[in-house]
Amino acid sequence: MKQLRSEDKILENVKRIHMIGIGGSGMCPLAEILNTKGYILTGSDNNESDPLKRIRNMGIKVCMGHSAENVKDAELIVYSAAIPFDNPELVYARENGIPTMERSHLLGALTRYYDNVIGVCGTHGKTTVTSMITQILILNKMQPNAVIGGRLPLINSNGVTGSSQTLVCESCEFVDTFLQMSPDVSVLLNIDNDHLDYFKTMDNLVKSFNKFVSMSKLCFYNGDDELAQKAVKDINAKTVSFGFAKTNDYYAQNIISTKHGFSFDVIKNGEKCGHLDMHIPGRHNVLNGLASFAVCDSMGVGAKGIADAVNKFSGAGRRFEFLGEYNGFTLADDYAHHPTEIKATLNAAKQLDYNRVIVVFQPFTFSRTALLKDEFIEALKIADKVVLTPIMGSREINTFGISSEDLAVKLNDAVVVDGFENIADYVIKTAQKGDIVITMGGGDIYKAAHIIEEKIGDRK
């Protein structure tokens, strides 16, 4: 076992742990890991969800709503970053001396209890690559543990617990949370201009990624990405590059567009070592496939085993997730909330055989929308029609004077619609046979897609 940090040692001294917001995508897999390690867990949440059903099926008691009564027997309280300071369970903990730990600190502590932690980082693609690596390892009987930022359809969950010492982790740079972790293997997918309200400059962002990859012994990185190259320069870890360019250790050759994605040969050190048939659209996913192949190849998984698992991979939940066909139009959902991600998804949709691409976009945070307004406009112009919701502020106050109307006015065919019910009605009235409608954003826009499904009824 690795050297523990002082705050980690609490996990060796407690047995009863309460998790506030236990149904969250980041909390649920941690609950599963703690449960398998023998901790007595309880949890609380405000909304019923599929993850909560999974949690209850493990025999974990979940309370709906938050109350001091829920935590009176707890020896440690874990909470997500979304939980407010005045949450009654946190207030009770502070007043009664019960230790608390934020989710990212718990994940960091858990990474020091595994011998082979694979930390997947980067501005874009983390969930897809974490999911793909996990699927490859599961289907090749490697018994991985995993913490994923989205649902992996293979297991219908955000995480899995296995018997091995391998832990695959999505590693997010937001407010430097990934620096709580201790990766043995790092995977750096790309670096783009996100979270600059926190990092302030791109140099600071690159330095943060440099700190993360410097903690690993082996680093896989996108050799086509200039900032990723900068982040891995002069680190002590062994580095392995992947990309389109032939200068990379792993690169793609004979790339062919198919109905579902791209197929290509994998070249390693100048020689063909495998072939992948991707079933997720978008040329950017060639890089995600290469990264996943390289990591699993280094772990001894055979090329055929990797290829078979990737062939069965249809994407992570909310990553260009096809929901079905309704009234003749196709409905999909995507997590893209940064202009680069929006461009990638919309370009991928444009390459498919649809009459029109209609995007229902929910801008996420005022600061990002204001800072990248022009980039959002350019990205959304790729769609044939744009439906915008009001900006979801999350934890922010709109001190920027920004609104969705500021985007709409610069687009050719755009409208702002408030309320998911109204959006569903508008889409049902507007979408035509042969169109694809993509609900898109980092907030709760997926609810609009579900309302569309409910209103139309059974899939056609």
What pLDDT does residue 63 have? 95
Provide the pLDDT for residue 78.
98
Using alpha carbons, select from 286, 139, 130, 319 the residue that is nearest to residue 275: 286
The whole-number mean pLDDT for each consecutive block of 10 residues of the chain, a chain of 460 residues, reads 87 96 90 93 89 90 96 96 92 97 95 97 95 98 94 89 96 93 98 86 96 98 98 97 98 90 96 96 94 98 98 85 90 92 93 93 96 97 98 90 97 97 97 96 93 77
Distance (Å, rounded) from C-alpha 184 to C-alpha 205? 21
**Residue 457: what pLDDT?**
77
- Across 371-397, b (16+ Cβ under 10 Å) vs e yields bbbebbbebbbbbbbbbbbebbeeebe
How far from the centroid of its chain's Cα atoms is residue 459's Cα? 27
Could you tell me which residues come within 8 angstroms of residue 129 by beta carbon, excluding any fewer than 6 positions away? 120, 122, 187, 189, 288, 291, 292
Q: Report d(CA 44, CA 56) in Å as an integer.
A: 11
Q: What pTM does this model have? A: 0.83
